[in-house]
Homo-oligomer: A and B are copies of this chain.
Amino acid sequence: MSHTAEIIAVGTELLLGNIANTNAQELSQALSALGINVFYHTVVGDNPHRLEEALSIARGRADILLTTGGLGPTYDDLTKQTICAAFGRPLVLHQEIVDWLKDKYARTFHIPMPENNLQQALLPEGCTVFDNPVGTAPGCAFEEGGVHVLMLPGPPFEMRTMLSRHVIPYLRALSAEVILSHDIMTFGLGESPMEVLLRERMEHMENPSLATYAKPSEVRLRATAKAGSEAEAEALLAPVVREVTDLLGDVVYGVDVPGLEHACLAHLKERGWTMATAESCTGGQIAQRITAIPGASAAFRGGVVSYWTAVKHSVLGVPEEILEAHGAVSEETARAMAEGARRVTGAEIAVSVTGVAGPDPDERGTAVGIVYIGLATPEGTFCRRCDFGKRRRDLIQNLASNHALDVVRRYLTDLPIQLR
């Protein structure tokens, strides 16, 4: 049987625009991966009357309701009360939650539990309790008249933790079917040419299905299979992933890899190598992306943000003649920056970026969007020139850091540095 879910986010801060509804996005991704249809998201404020109306509409068109928010201990947290009233379930005190809360306050916060926290131990009678290891509001689920209601906390980190620990297993148990996906990650081929390449293959595929998701300069290709068991789903997916990977060739940088920086780090660790960065217009973004990954220190030595031309000379040792003859945004400077970063850090390879992120052209008149990427290696130094055109500053910085990581990735996997 196929299920239909509706996500109801409760919180006035969403209606005021203080935060985006990222909970709905994360829940939708998870539901989509489980093969559960989502036809509506609803956002409602901390107002019991309007939440009641949203519940009444939602239960008429979905058989799984997921709510986020309003489980806390303060007077405006009304989700549990409102849902229990709407579904005719009494709220009862769960002693094991009282004990857990008291213990948590004593051990983590070193204070007695405040009285108003008792409200968090009130949950619908006969519900499944979802514990919350990273907060104080437990979630829960119950079924009433064929409708499953799941209540999750609003803080994204608590919601996310509960989603993977409890919600996905709970929902998976509702269906006999297993849904499994693999993401084929690509860089350097647009979504349209990719769809042209794969059109014939994609049109005739139902199980597994193939779908593309594009970000600027990156396309994720998701293959999804439904089957009676995980092994069967894997058996359906494996040949498709292989075939598509072969068809797309060297633009594929990995399967189920979260991003280019993860691919680079993995290839470096495989070789036992380290890398360094020399960044001008990306201003530290490449280093920041790599060091956001736990364990980056195994392969990332460090880098230089040589934003001013003088720093390119003083810290990276780019010769003044090069800077004067060719300018800070040039192939020659990109190469010398990479070589300098490799020299001063002692890393096996170093990647550099110099370009014009805008909003204005540089002092030599180099246009916004022109970016040079250098790569210094034991075999010599390489360069890729990019022209991203006049775009927004943050987009150019992001494209430049992606291209730099792609140059590293291609070198480490023995591919030509230049994109076709």
Contact = CB atoms under 8 A, between A and B. Distances in A.
Interface of A: 13-22, 24-32, 38-45, 47, 50, 53-54, 57, 61, 157, 213, 274, 276-277, 279, 281-288, 290-292, 294, 296-297, 300-308, 310-311, 314-315, 344-346, 358-359, 392-394, 397
Majority secondary structure, A binding face: mixed
Nearest to A310: B346
A213 B54 contact: no
12 contacts: A18-B213, A19-B25, A20-B24, A21-B24, A41-B43, A283-B288, A292-B394, A301-B310, A302-B304, A302-B308, A303-B305, A315-B344
B305 A302 contact: yes
Contacts of A307: 287, 291, 296-297, 300-303
Contacts of A30: 17
Contact of A314 (B28, B57, B344, B394): B344
Nearest to A360: B294
Contact of A291 (B29, B157, B283): B283
Nearest to A303: B305
A290 to B, nearest CB: 7
A50 to B, nearest CB: 6
B15 A28 contact: yes
Given A42-B42, A302-B315, A308-B345, 7 more contacts: A14-B41, A17-B25, A17-B28, A41-B42, A279-B287, A283-B284, A314-B344
Contacts of A213: 13, 18
Nearest to A33: B17
Contacts of A15: 28, 32, 38-41
A258 to B, nearest CB: 13
B301 A304 contact: no
A61 B286 CA distance: 48
Contacts of A40: 15, 42-44, 50, 54
Contacts of A296: 283, 307
Given A26-B17, A39-B15, A41-B15, A288 B284 contact: yes
A308 B297 CA distance: 7
A314 B346 contact: yes
Given A28-B17, A42-B41, A45-B39, A284 B310 contact: no
A344 B304 CA distance: 11
Contacts of A359: 294
A399 to B, nearest CB: 14
B14 A314 contact: no
Nearest to A38: B15
B292 A283 contact: yes
Contacts of A294: 358-359, 393
Given A39-B15, A50-B39, A305 B283 contact: no
A287 B283 contact: yes
Contacts of A50: 39-40
Given A287-B283, A345-B314, A25 B21 contact: yes
9 tightest A-B CB contacts, nearest first: A283-B291, A17-B28, A284-B284, A17-B29, A284-B287, A41-B43, A302-B311, A284-B288, A302-B307
A275 B259 CA distance: 32
A78 to B, nearest CB: 15
